[in-house]
Chains A and B, each alone.
Chain A
């Protein structure tokens, strides 16, 4: 029986080739998107699933409460570790990892800053199981020992046999000389534990100077490079241990400390982006949710096409159903048969969608983790997902048409009383309206996101960002000054300035200050920028009142921005001049008020800000060139000067323009995603419309013939068919306008500075959709209207 159904299904697909193509294309887009999402989800879920007893393993994390600012971090005080081992009986094992990124040198060969290095103890290896090729965890009991993975060993000692690597010396930061005493294999499988090099913790612990300098003995060191792991004894509740940890830290934290310590299950590490996972890429849940919603929409569009076309051709299938019923087919069997057709069709679409996956992976590589590749199809979880998807989507698409078709009464069919299903025309209209609503919402959203992004890029930031770059100096103040002296001599250089960061930068320095009256009078968090006297003129920041700071290497005078002056209760900027601002327990005079400028992207409101001179400013040198300078040649000269001062460090100029980019990455991605989805949605909807138009003209061939015999022009017939689709798209435009307005208005609230939704977006999108819809339908109507009426009337 099933073979029989499949055979009929295939023959029907072949008979209605065009409709099959429409359906398969429409469904395959959604299916391929679903496949990719599943691959990402599966990839992310597969992280660190192989650790023994992982259900009992946790990472201790802190929630630090700095009055109005909460920071979650994996950093916990290192002295907690011995306490956990000695005084918490529920803890079976405890170990920590401290990430370390030193400059690495081997003999005279410099490897530069290396990542994926960590301080570790032997206990770490009893929690996370590594395969040891040489040595054993015990080697890390002693100071000045290091363990490499095979890959790291090959990187540091190329061409050397692994056993010969043992005993070789590696120098960190020019001062710590360690011996390689073990080689391990990297963990197999997807994992965030990708450390390549383990330095014995005793290296620091046994050296009182190092220990103190690195804060390893401090109860207030919450360095996010620290990750402390515990393995609980079987049956021990994590809440009990958390309470014990709170008890231990109470003795050492400040009295009014509101800091909290909790246990983060191992499986959550990959998913909690607030805390991070050893600086590795984590699962991006918001993006996954967004993509998931998109997949549902795309699948819905494809299914709507299927429902529309199946019910539209119901009249043609009715005869078969009537005969089958008179031969003894039950309703259930008819349903099964039509479901079979939708499954076969969906299976074709699924096959096609697999072919589309590589294209999607490369087009969206900014969303998709590198580990997600076509190779994943070899895994059964991915492979088996395809038939499950076919079953689900086939059911979703097929269930309604199957029930409608199965409801036909055989006698009505055999008496030729069925001419399509009249009542179902309304349903098709509703579905077409929904389809176009989705497409229209997407068009509108794309335009509005584009407009807002354009606005964000073009808005006056309050400072001049054009043709300015900065160099982050790695050395001491003296070397930075040496670099400045060299650049000062170049005629092409217009101006130079020291500044800890550009006016707009991702990082923020904040500190508590008090000034004026109101909420700012008490200690409040204020953003601080460390600059020199050139900074304000360099970036053409406007001075509203008072004067610029005088050259100095320490904080002697303060500039504040307008927002700070207002928040501190000064009605006019002038009123703030001469007031004392207390900061680091010292009082400094405010000498000037500058106009507000953006220190972050448009998402963030301009907050109170203070600028002051400080030696910290000398970590970056900001450079602007004369307009007529030959940029290429000048950059080469500057690079040469850099290499003289910093022979060991790579030259890197960061343009202030580019800093803006970082703030709008997610908007740009959203825009890319939306544009793609819009294109696909319009494509699927128009395909469906084309299918419906073909059926409509086929059904009304006779009517067209009669009208033409009666003297109708081709134009009037095309009009006749276009009227319906115009009505549908107009209704869709109204619905979409409402939805898009609401959705985009709430999206724009993410921005402290945003556009008003431009009204023209809505009629423009509607007009575009209408044009596409009309072209689709009118082309079919035109074809039908051009046929000689004698032929169309004969065909009856």
Chain B
């Protein structure tokens, strides 16, 4: 479902340029659980952002579900963000002004889903994640692990085909990290959601079924 051909990314620095990604080629199939690994500054996050349509490559071709991404207009990309793609961030990135319930509901609002359906979807997710009691709390009233749980709930509520996770357990201690990774594995197996995560940890990579190692902007 995802295919990268000779993807490069560089920023202009002075008269030259700073290369982050160099001629990356890779294929991710539907239903895979891929871990992107590599040292700090190797370009992992940039690669994930390109995959998630948040950033544009400088060169090369990217096909998402068989379509050339650089030919898509803003509207089409927004459509993909609303439906096909879900994000989980290291810093959770919940909206501080919204309650747990409202945070999870937000992607559905952007999909213009009718209110009754929205309610039942959010209720299902809250139920599944055992967070019904916390639905009216604000993010700053939750622990890090709980916040990330809300982050994942929000990512899957619109039933995406792929989730991009940027060091999802980076800010969590090991117990919490374990349960989050188990959740990802379950989503991958039971719900058939493709998962692409960036991680430092071999342990986390172990939950997936494919590892892409990146070093100095190149895939090894």
Contacts and interface: CB of A to CB of B under 8 A. Distances in A.
Given A319-B93, A320-B95, A333-B110, A327 B54 contact: no
A323 interface: yes
Interface stretch (B22-30, B62-70, B79-87, B189-197): B79-87
Contacts, number: 63
Nearest to B81: A328
Contacts of A12: 97
B49 A411 contact: yes
B93 A323 contact: yes
A415 interface: yes
A331 B77 CA distance: 12
A319 B94 CA distance: 9
Interface residues of A, number: 25
Given A410-B54, A414-B93, A327 B107 contact: yes
Given A8-B97, A319-B93, A415-B45, A328 B82 contact: yes
Contacts of B87: 326-327
B48 to A, nearest CB: 10
A324 interface: yes
Contacts of B79: 328
Contacts of B94: 323
B54 A328 contact: no
Q: Which interface residue of A8, A15, A322, A328 has the most chain B CB atoms within 10 A?
A: A328
A226 B82 CA distance: 76
A16 to B, nearest CB: 11
Contacts of B110: 324, 327-330, 333
A330 B111 CA distance: 11
A414 B89 contact: yes
A8 B79 CA distance: 23
A330 B74 contact: yes
Given A1-B112, A12-B97, 16 more contacts: A8-B97, A8-B98, A11-B97, A320-B95, A320-B96, A323-B94, A326-B54, A327-B81, A327-B106, A328-B158, A329-B110, A331-B74, A333-B110, A410-B54, A414-B89, A414-B93
Nearest to B49: A411
A125 B105 CA distance: 69
Contacts of A320: 95-97
Interface residues of B, number: 31
B52 interface: yes
Q: Which interface residue of A8, A323, A331, A333 has the most chain B CB atoms within 10 A?
A: A323
B74 A414 contact: no
Interface in B81-126: 81-83, 87, 89, 93-98, 102, 105-107, 109-112
A305 to B, nearest CB: 22
A327 B83 contact: no
A4 B93 contact: no
B55 interface: yes
Contacts of A326: 52, 54, 81, 87, 93
A355 to B, nearest CB: 28
Contacts of B55: 411
A588 interface: no
A331 B96 CA distance: 20
A324 B106 contact: yes
A325 interface: yes
Interface of B: 45, 49, 52, 54-55, 74-75, 78-83, 87, 89, 93-98, 102, 105-107, 109-112, 154, 158
A7 B109 CA distance: 14
Contacts of B49: 411
Interface in A1-38: 1, 4, 7-8, 11-12, 15
27 contacts: A1-B109, A1-B112, A4-B102, A4-B105, A4-B109, A7-B102, A8-B97, A319-B93, A320-B96, A320-B97, A323-B95, A324-B95, A324-B106, A326-B54, A326-B81, A326-B93, A327-B87, A328-B81, A328-B82, A328-B107, A328-B158, A329-B110, A333-B110, A409-B54, A410-B54, A411-B54, A414-B89
Contacts of A414: 54, 89, 93
A84 B45 CA distance: 92
A565 B41 CA distance: 97
B78 A329 contact: yes
A327 B86 CA distance: 7
Contacts of A15: 97
Contacts of B89: 414
Contacts of B75: 330
Interface in A265-319: 319
B18 to A, nearest CB: 15
B98 A325 contact: no
B95 A328 contact: no
Closest 3 CB pairs of A and B: A328-B82, A328-B81, A411-B54
A336 to B, nearest CB: 12
B159 to A, nearest CB: 13
Contacts of B158: 328
Contacts of A330: 74-75, 78, 110
Nearest to B98: A8
Q: Which interface residue of B102, B109, B112 has the most chain A CB atoms within 10 A?
A: B109
Nearest to A329: B110
Nearest to B102: A4
Nearest to A327: B107
